[in-house]
Amino acid sequence: MRVIAHVDMDAFYASVEMARHPELREVPMFVGGSTRGVVLSANYPARAYGISAGMPSSRARRLCPQVAVVHPDFDHYGAVSAGVSEIFDTLTDRVEMTSIDEAFIDLTTALRRLGGNPLRVAQELRAQVMDEQGIACSVGLGPSKFIAKLASKQAKPDGLVQVAPQDVIGFLHPLPVEAIWGVGEATAEKLHRLGLNCVRDLANTPRGTLQRALGDGQGALLFDLAWGRDDRSVLAREPAEHSVGSQETFGRDTDDEAIVATEILRMADRTAARMRAQQMVGKVVTLSVRFADFTTITRTGTLGAFTDRTNDIYCEAMRLFRKLNLQRARIRRVGVRVEKLVAKASTYQQPALDEPVHGWDEAEAAIDKAVLRFGPQAVQRARLTRRPYLASA
């Protein structure tokens, strides 16, 4: 039986801005134009005033004159989305990003490796997104993409809903017909004229009747969906070259090398953990640095042997950083990526002569196991337990 997860970032643009500016969490705010343009995303206090995405900004300000307005930073939103996507990739390669803030994940074949409990996997996923990116997400679990998406909508905000195969009909039939994919205002009006108001009404209407009223294709589709039948697969992307990385955007630009080095260590640690989860190793390390003026430079180095160890990746990333000789340039974001990965089982790692029998490999394996069971903050390096003024990306 398939297990599909639909992950939806709650009020994505607004959530990212609140992660950067915690003072905005409890006040009405939206991301968009202050006087012209439209609302791109509104937080829940603003929604209480009737403000919603797609609304003209001028109307939003009339509904709530004291609303805070944040101009969009699409570069940052893209970086956060990429960071969330990389978390998904640690679970399985069956990931379909349908937009900057939504994804389907087919967990079916990965559950044995992940412990077999989809609810626990989803809970840990939500905790990891919050820990790394500072934003909430809602997750729906179901036997199909259709049911998983409906479940994630039920889970909002910041929740988790699982619909087991035997519960699909009981979950689906009480919903209004507008809940079904493809039922917009025009289709809903046609269905209401036929006396069809909830999904149960659709399911109990003969397929032929729906086809005569709505057309062969749409009528047949709505009938199947009303009974929970949806065989569409998750459309996993095909990576041109396997790589894993992480990046961090600072809450304020900084020229403090100690802070930058700590975040490079955090990115190396996060990247290495993702590699180990995928049973991959690599030897090409890329460091990216974005400055306060939004210019970005990257530097790449090659290690002498394949590795998935945090220390190896961190040392190479720091070597690349020191070679930049930045002279206290103000930095906005750092990232660490390992490229040209290969399966760990296909390589041999030669231990150094002075290396202990049990060392970092065993320690990091134990850390990974603890994090998988108890969440991303279960075990951390002491240097990474404090985050002075950072907003993840």
Enzyme catalytic residues = 102
What is the rounded CA–CA span in Å between residue 102 and residue 154? Answer: 15
Structure tokens of 160? 């988790």
Omega prior to 22 cis, within 30 of 0 = no
- Identify which of 76, 79, 47, 78 has the alpha carbon closest to the alpha carbon of residue 64: 47
- Is 8 marked within a binding site? yes
DSSP letter for 152, please.
H
Whether the CB-CB separation of 110 and 94 falls below 8 Å is answered with yes
Q: Judging by DSSP bridges, how do beta strands 243-254 and 39-42 pair with one another?
A: unpaired
Q: How far is CA 64 from CA 10, 68, 186, 294, 379, in A?
A: 21, 9, 31, 33, 44
What is the rounded CA–CA span in Å between residue 51 and residue 236? Answer: 35
What is the rounded CA–CA span in Å between residue 220 and residue 1? Answer: 24
Structure tokens of 46? 């603003």
Q: Judging by DSSP bridges, how do beta strands 390-392 and 342-343 pair with one another?
A: unpaired
Amino acid at 388: P
Whether the CB-CB separation of 162 and 152 falls below 8 Å is answered with no
- Is 101 marked within a binding site? yes
Burial of 194-216, coded b for 16+ CB within 10 Å and e otherwise, reads: eebebbbbbbebeeeebbebbee
Whether the CB-CB separation of 80 and 393 falls below 8 Å is answered with yes
Q: Judging by DSSP bridges, how do beta strands 390-392 and 243-254 pair with one another?
A: antiparallel
What is the rounded CA–CA span in Å between residue 389 and residue 393? Answer: 13
Binding residues: 8, 101
Binding residues for Mg(2+): 8, 101
